[in-house]
Structure 1
């Protein structure tokens, strides 16, 4: 709680929700990042442009922040092997759950999807257990 930032967290959440709502209302698409990125691997005709634009916005936003505010101090205490393993587990979980936290947690819950509600509960439970295990059992 030493780095509690309610205002910037609220603003970030509003921007995420707004971008998901705009994509859904304007184009009928779900703003699930794993699905957007995965759709570029085997693109259908007319699908590449909006996917690239959305991903470009995801990359441009932090670069714009750094240009305006400067780079924040980042400290990662995990080693490379642990980070690679974590990334692989997240990718596996995304495939297993048929979507990621943005697709299920933001868009699916907004659509009152029971499957997304179950997936989000699993995401949050596993996250809580992971934090507990890494801070108290490791």
Structure 2
């Protein structure tokens, strides 16, 4: 068992919890990435975009700073010298997947970070239903990909 990966996951989870709590305590906002990003590019209250831009910039610059400091991004690659590997299904399938995620977050009124982290912590029935749907969809997707499409990997 690789304890380093477990500790990295634990530390990352703690940071996610702290950031969600901090945003709720200081601004009264839920840490839902789709809502933060979507509201940044659409209509929003005046003066509400600075924290959204800073939050999204942190999501992008955090991993970059980690790599520059000599850390790694975990097990996202197949080769030791790569930072991020090629998309498993090709670029077109990744674009389609991203589009479907965007449509899904719109239909579900949020994403896994908003519903799964913040909504469950607030005991929101809507978030409980959404998170259950996310998990069920993931189970079905893995089953279909491995046992029907992929031939039983």
Fold conserved (TM > 0.5)? yes
| Aligned-pair Cα RMSD in Å | 2.0
Q: Secondary structure at the match of 1:69?
A: coil
Runs of 4+ in structure 1 over 6 Å off: none
Consecutive unaligned residues of structure 1, counting only runs of 5 or more, are none
Q: Using the TM superposition, give the Cα deviation of residue 24 of structure 1 relative to its aligned residue in structure 2, in angstroms.
A: 0.3
Q: Using the TM superposition, give the Cα deviation of residue 5 of structure 1 relative to its aligned residue in structure 2, in angstroms.
A: 2.2
Q: Does 1:47 align with 2:48?
A: yes
Q: Taking structure 1 as the reference length, what is the TM-score of the superposition?
A: 0.92
Q: Secondary structure at the match of 2:88?
A: coil
Q: Secondary structure at the match of 2:47?
A: coil
> 2:89, 2:36 → 1: CA distance?
28
Q: Secondary structure at the match of 1:39?
A: helix
Consecutive unaligned residues of structure 2, counting only runs of 5 or more, are 78-83
Q: Secondary structure at the match of 1:46?
A: coil
Q: Relative CO higher for 1 or 2, CA cutoff 8 Å, sep ≥ 6? A: 1
> 1:120, 1:11 → 2: CA distance?
22
Q: Using the TM superposition, give the Cα deviation of residue 88 of structure 1 relative to its aligned residue in structure 2, in angstroms.
A: 1.1
Which deviations, in whole Å up to 9, do the C-alpha atoms of 1:74-94 show, x marking residues without a partner?
433211221111111111110
Moved more, 116-125 or 127-136: 127-136
Which deviations, in whole Å up to 9, do the C-alpha atoms of 1:100-127 show, x marking residues without a partner?
0000000000101010000000001101
Number of residue equivalences: 138
> 2:60, 2:91 → 1: CA distance?
22
Q: How does 1:85-124 map to 2 (within 5 A)?
A: 85-124=96-135
Q: Using the TM superposition, give the Cα deviation of residue 55 of structure 1 relative to its aligned residue in structure 2, in angstroms.
A: 0.7
Which structure: larger Rg? 2
